[in-house]
Amino acid sequence: MTNKLYQGSPESPPQHYEALNELKKYYNHSQIVELSFVSGFFNFWNRFTDVLEIDIEQGSLMESFSKSTKIDPKQFEEYMRDGWWKEK
């Protein structure tokens, strides 16, 4: 999802039906919205910290983050499939 390139303009919006159709095979609408939001947030955050030259990878603070980034892919998949929401 994050690897696709955004190419478009107001006169010619991007067409990414293939990526969306692939996501729909595995996730429901709510999950796709959440995935999009999280991906978009981290894309924003990286650009934001780069522009302001904020080094988030220095000192002992980064050690705190590195411990929290180890995610079992199977557990994440189960979490995203189950979620806290229930579509009605």
Give pLDDT tens digits for 31-67.
999 999 999 998 898 888 888 887 766 666 666 665 5
Distance of CA 4 to the CA centre of its chain: 12
Tokens of 59: 């000192």
How many beta carbons lie within 10 A of that of residue 57, not counting itself?
A: 10
In the predicted structure, residue 25 carries a pLDDT above the cut 90: yes
**Residue 80 near residue 27, CB atoms below 8 Å:** yes
Tokens of 86: 């229930």
pTM: 0.48
Residues above pLDDT 70, as percent of the chain: 60
Give the CA dihedral 35, 37, 38, 44, nearest 10 degrees: 140
